[in-house]
Chains A and B, each alone.
Chain A
Amino acid sequence: MSRIQETFNQLKKRKEGALITFTTLGDPSLRRSVQLARRLAESGADILELGLPFSDPVADGPTIQASYQRALKAGMNTHRALEAVRKLRDKVKTPLVLLSYYNPVLRRGVAGFFRDFAEAGLDGVVVPDLPVEEAEPVSKAGKDAGVNLIFLVAPTTTERRLEKIVKAAEGFLYLVSLLGVTGARESLSALTKKTISRIAKHVEARIPVAVGFGISKPPHVREVIAAGADGAIVGSALIDLYTSSASNPAQALEKVSAYVHTLKAATAKKA
């Protein structure tokens, strides 16, 4: 059983949803991004999603675009991302999921990419611009390396596509909760809740469903879990929070840590 699966199983027993945090590798530096991720795990994050920065992130809003730019400027690349994952794996037992656009994966060679990151201790990979139709060689490389290939589904995903995706998906389904790019939003849309219940109903617990995009506050986390999701993904809100105090790293970590505690507390399922 994969580490991701095991995490979801244990959370289910504890009647909790998963809190998945997203941060960028290398923002503001390799060392500090590893430090931040480690702190997130210690503060209650159940899965750490780590962004491999890319020059042209079409599915991301201003927060993550800026974060990727800072990381690239600071010298982050695939080679150094491996080093970051290795360092994190030494410190935490939390499942580690890498988000990478497809081109950096291709450039390293799909099989080599998965093999190298598996050796570094990675558990899953999300490729936001790889639809299920093109995923076969990537799926195979993931299986060979023992790394879960995680797929996205969206409010626009039809039942026919959804079934194809569920069959190919491993680890969990990453449900994009809105029509838009990543970024903190004030409130959840009616579409989000409708989409969650539609997808959850179709999936029938064959694979956990985690909801991301626009989730920034404990009430959002509570709402998506109540709507039937198995996890909530928070990214831009954490990056905004950390970056707003980046000049004082110790204070930034404290702030983010306290916030993650409140997000995690919101994952408890009501009896």
Chain B
Amino acid sequence: MKKTSLSYYGRYPDEKGKFGRYGGIFAPEILMPALEELHEAFLRHHRDPGFQGELGRYLRDYAGRPTPLYYAQRLSWRLGCKVYLKREDLTHGGAHKLNNTLGQALLALRMGKKRLIAETGAGQHGLATAMAGAVLGLKTEVYMGEEDVERQRHNVYRMELLGAEVHPVKSGSRTLKDAINEAFRDWIAHVGDTHYVVGSVVGPHPYPLLVREFQRVIGKEIRQQVLEKEGRLPSLLVACIGGGSNALGAFYDFLEDPSVQLHGVEAGGQGLRTGRHSASLAAGSLGVLHGAYTRILQDEYGQIETSHSISAGLDYPGVGPELAFLQETGRLKVYTATDAEAVEAFHMLAKLEGILPALEPCHALAHLAKISRRLPPDSIVVLNLSGRGDKDLGVVQKFMEDRK
């Protein structure tokens, strides 16, 4: 039966790697054959039941999936609506990142690659790549901006304990975007034996597709779990957006359910008006960064601007092209929450539920707290709690002291 033109699934990305006008491949010629090879390998292995079985086993027995969908009763009372937390913070390593790195590392293994490289901001993706590399016996090297190395000493040590080599990046703004540049440069020089494990739904095609497919497990589980508990779909899904992998992973399997609203929350930093934020969707403009056409933070001449957020995982001047597309079509609504609002939400969840969340999903929670009273009374909300907050304790402590 022919599908109607309204259907989303199976249409994006198109054969040029585009989501509408977004995405595509804007990469140096050296990498083009490798990107083509990766796409072909992904299509082949991803439909192979053997590959899915092996990935499923690692996700279950190693990563600890499925993660619980937790009904947060005291939070629900406070916010005046029924709130479920999707506990990605309970994934091995403390964040959703491992879903993707296990998938990509298994794929790299099947492609005969000997070495993994990755970029990392806060260190969560680097850590998840180090875990996947260790458990699958692949040599792992991680690029991390010098400034982030300073801010996240513990994660650097964790990665090293897992056998990964961490390279501090001294170029540019010495943060995540420069770590990505440096990882690309490494890949350019070692494209034969190395797989670059991109950590979010960003980068040139096929990365936005790959990472989305490996993160979809979040949304698939939510769907099944919420139907079991409530017998109906949620009315609203909320997730934070940096590059966008946890959001797209949670949202994707609900795209064709118009009754489910999708809210993405970006880092408003010190406020959109100050210019110190990471809100590429809410306040950025069209351009090409790291191989994809999307919304980015740039000056009037097309130079990439430095982003800002209290949460290193959202501190990125670009965003996944599919999210830019979903925003343009109106399917995804985009909001922001500031550093201060995120920290406030951090304390709220800690006190009400005994959970120390990562600062990234605190942005989503802060947004939910702003709108919850306006939702219809029988609303069911699922918030993707993408990571745990251990890594952020120092940041929160410093923020509170500076405020005194």
Contacts and interface: CB of A to CB of B under 8 A. Distances in A.
Nearest to B33: A156
Contact of A106 (B29, B181, B191, B287): B287
Interface string A111-134: 000000000000000001111011
Interface string B283-306: 000111111000010101111100
A117 B190 CA distance: 36
A181 B29 contact: no
A98 B235 CA distance: 53
Nearest to A65: B171
A192 to B, nearest CB: 13
B25 A133 contact: yes
Contacts, number: 117
Contacts of B181: 56-58
A245 B344 CA distance: 53
Contact count band on A: 35 or more
A226 to B, nearest CB: 24
B72 to A, nearest CB: 40
Contact of A161 (B33, B172, B303): B33
Contacts of A55: 172, 303-304
A104 to B, nearest CB: 4
Nearest to A130: B26
Contacts of B188: 58-59, 179-181
Contacts of A102: 26, 288
A207 to B, nearest CB: 15
Interface string A234-263: 000000000000000000000000000000
Q: Which of B184, B190, B286, B288 has the most CB of A within 10 A?
A: B288
Contact of B29 (A62, A77, A79, A157): A157
Interface residues of B, number: 37
Q: What is the interface of chain B mostly: helix, strand, loop, or mixed?
A: mixed
Given A78-B302, A103-B298, A107-B301, A131 B27 contact: yes
B355 interface: no
A228 interface: no
Contacts of A179: 30, 188-192
Nearest to A180: B189
Contact of B302 (A62, A103, A130, A153): A103
Contacts of A156: 29-34, 191
Contacts of B191: 156, 179
B177 interface: yes
A152 B188 CA distance: 14
A105 B177 CA distance: 20
Contacts of A65: 171-172
A133 B16 contact: yes
Nearest to A62: B171
A7 to B, nearest CB: 24
22 contacts: A54-B302, A54-B303, A55-B303, A58-B184, A59-B28, A77-B301, A102-B288, A103-B287, A103-B304, A104-B303, A106-B302, A128-B28, A128-B29, A130-B26, A134-B24, A154-B29, A156-B29, A156-B30, A161-B29, A176-B30, A179-B188, A179-B190
Given A77-B303, A103-B288, A181-B185, 17 more contacts: A55-B303, A55-B304, A56-B290, A58-B188, A65-B171, A69-B171, A103-B287, A103-B289, A103-B296, A103-B304, A129-B291, A131-B25, A133-B16, A153-B29, A154-B30, A156-B31, A165-B29
The 3 closest A-B pairs by CB, nearest first: A107-B302, A104-B302, A154-B30
